[in-house]
Structure 1
């Protein structure tokens, strides 16, 4: 930990990226049928990805691991800030009532109903189970590893989505949230709730984009996104164990022979049961 904090090269790069991002500022690109909201965090994510590209050798693997450690600390501070905002806004959250709880259904069912058929159509086998039963953050990886093993097809599917989410998830959700917000048919608070998918980085990116599109709702967006993210994190593990994973397995057995390019063999069906 001390070595991470004392790595002044990392701190210098972060400071430089923050300055560049703030100088560029927030931008909106009108696409005619919607708007892409660009904001400092999005620029920093992209520039950070470029700088850490192994071929450039600007950062060593050890420095990248140190950066990941520091990122965990930074998100703790970010969550603490959200906590100070949640307290005074509890009445607003309670007023939302069942709408806040009900929208959580989409975080679990959406990945299955939309993701599983597409994964099968693209030719994935049992990997599609691990890839689509959740958004595959750390607790979800643990569930799959415990049930099937990390080296199983299900484990590879979950790990693949985890890696893609880590590399591209924040950027993707930032662009998607800004675009959907600009369409005008969804309320900013409902979009803020949808931003709380159980990942701190994805939630921060999505809520940041929404704040650019709806500056008057900036505080409420942060509050409801944080509340939804906390709710997803608390309930997510249990819902995935007792609902999402069993439902995904059942749907896989039903859909794979119909739309799958690689129908499951008898032995595969036994193992996925």
Structure 2
């Protein structure tokens, strides 16, 4: 952490990305009955991706590791800022608390969609780790504790974790704007849905919604922050008691549909 803070090259790159992104500003275009908003955060993320060793090589592997170690610190500051919006909206949050708690059942949709796709793509026991959740830190710890991270299940959850880290924020920001532009769901419902247990993904989604509906931006931020906190608390239990058993069951069913036989017991034990 100390070495990362002393990495001046990294700080200068980040400052340049922020200045350029803010200079571009928010960009919106109409779609259907609403509009899609692209925020400076999205531009900064894209510039960060292309600055890495795989593309422009402005940042090396060590710089990427240093940047990753500082994410937690910056998100703590961001969540503290969001915390200031929760207090004034406590009555509204209490009124919506049943919905905030029950929304965790939406995680089962990940299982229902993810398992068939993973098996179809040829994944074996990796499906269990990859498709049981959104694969954030608590889920990685859960899979590591039950199966071990050096197993196929561990490889599956780590693969989704890495993809979510790289692309999740961009995906959530765009998904929030496109969904809001359709006008099907109330923006406060979308704010609650933004809290999936990832502060960065929630921030991208809430930021886009706040830009689209500035008149209720404080309520959007408060519900997004509260939802994200509750997802972090009850998400692990939902995964342990419902999502993982359901994933195991669906995996066996779809494996048999594709290969004509159930997974061997030896493969299960090795997993």
TM-score (norm 1): 0.92
Where does the alignment leave 5 or more consecutive residues of structure 2 unmatched?
none
Distance 1:223 1:264, change over 3 A: same
* Residue 131 (structure 2) aligns with: 132
CA distance in structure 1 between the partners assigned to 2:256 and 2:156 by the alignment:
19
Query: Secondary structure of 1:251's partner?
Result: helix
Distance 1:272 1:30, change over 3 A: farther
TM-score (norm 2): 0.93
Query: Secondary structure of 2:37's partner?
Result: strand
Matched, 1:81 2:89: no
* Residue 198 (structure 1) aligns with: 197
Deviation at 1:33, TM superposition (A): 7.5
CA distance in structure 2 between the partners assigned to 1:195 and 1:21 by the alignment:
23
- Pick from 242, 263, 266 the counterpart of residue 264 of structure 2: 266
Q: Deviations over 1:149-180 (max 9, x none)?
A: 22222111111111110110000111111000
Q: Deviations over 1:85-132 (max 9, x none)?
A: 1122111101113122222211x2111112112222222222111111
The answer (yes or no) to whether the contact 2:191–2:206 under 8 Å persists in 1 is: yes
Where does the alignment leave 5 or more consecutive residues of structure 1 unmatched?
none
Query: Secondary structure of 1:125's partner?
Result: coil
CA distance in structure 2 between the partners assigned to 1:267 and 1:200 by the alignment:
38
Distance 1:23 1:120, change over 3 A: same
The answer (yes or no) to whether the contact 2:110–2:133 under 8 Å persists in 1 is: yes
CA RMSD of aligned residues (A): 2.0
CA distance in structure 1 between the partners assigned to 2:262 and 2:125 by the alignment:
8
Distance 1:263 1:21, change over 3 A: farther
Matches within 5 A, 1:230-249: 230-249=229-248
Instruction: Using the TM superposition, name which of 22-31 and 87-96 deviates more.
Output: 22-31
Distance 1:231 1:60, change over 3 A: same
Deviation at 1:264, TM superposition (A): 4.3
* Residue 16 (structure 1) aligns with: 16
How many positions carry a matched residue from both structures? 271
* Residue 161 (structure 1) aligns with: 160
* Residue 52 (structure 2) aligns with: 52
Matched, 1:171 2:179: no
